[in-house]
């Protein structure tokens, strides 16, 4: 009998919590989370695209600079000898 009462109490508490929070969640879902001008959204997206393009162009520029420096160098030195010489 005690187990049955606990089960009924838990079920009732879960049902009451669900009913109480569902109405608040439903009311919150009726309003848009972000309200603003669509041009602001376009500006944010455009800024992110420009940031990605600048990152890619900077990476390509660094790779091109390194390739030019490697081609123009007379020595076999690739930088700091951290792991030893390149004896391939």
Radius of gyration of the chain (CA): 32
pTM, 2 dp: 0.40
**pLDDT at 56 exceeding the cut of 70:** yes
- More reliable by pLDDT, 20 or 75: 20
What is the phi-psi region of residue 57: left when phi exceeds 0, alpha when psi lies from -120 to 50, beta otherwise?
alpha
Residue 54 reports pLDDT greater than 70 = yes
Query: What residue spans define the domains of the chain?
Result: 1-31, 33-72
pLDDT tens sequence across 14-45: 777 776 666 666 666 666 666 678 888 888 89
The DSSP symbol for 65 reads H
In the predicted structure, residue 66 carries a pLDDT above the cut 70 = yes
């Amino acid at each position: 009998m005690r187990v049955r009462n606990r089960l009924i109490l838990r079920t009732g508490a879960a049902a009451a919590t669900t009913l109480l929070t569902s109405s608040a969640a439903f009311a919150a879902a009726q309003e848009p989370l972000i309200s603003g001008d669509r041009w602001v959204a376009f500006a944010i997206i455009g800024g992110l695209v420009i940031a990605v393009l600048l990152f890619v162009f900077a990476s390509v520029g660094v790779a091109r600079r390194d390739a030019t420096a490697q081609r123009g160098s007379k020595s076999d030195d690739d930088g700091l000898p951290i792991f030893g010489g390149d004896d391939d």
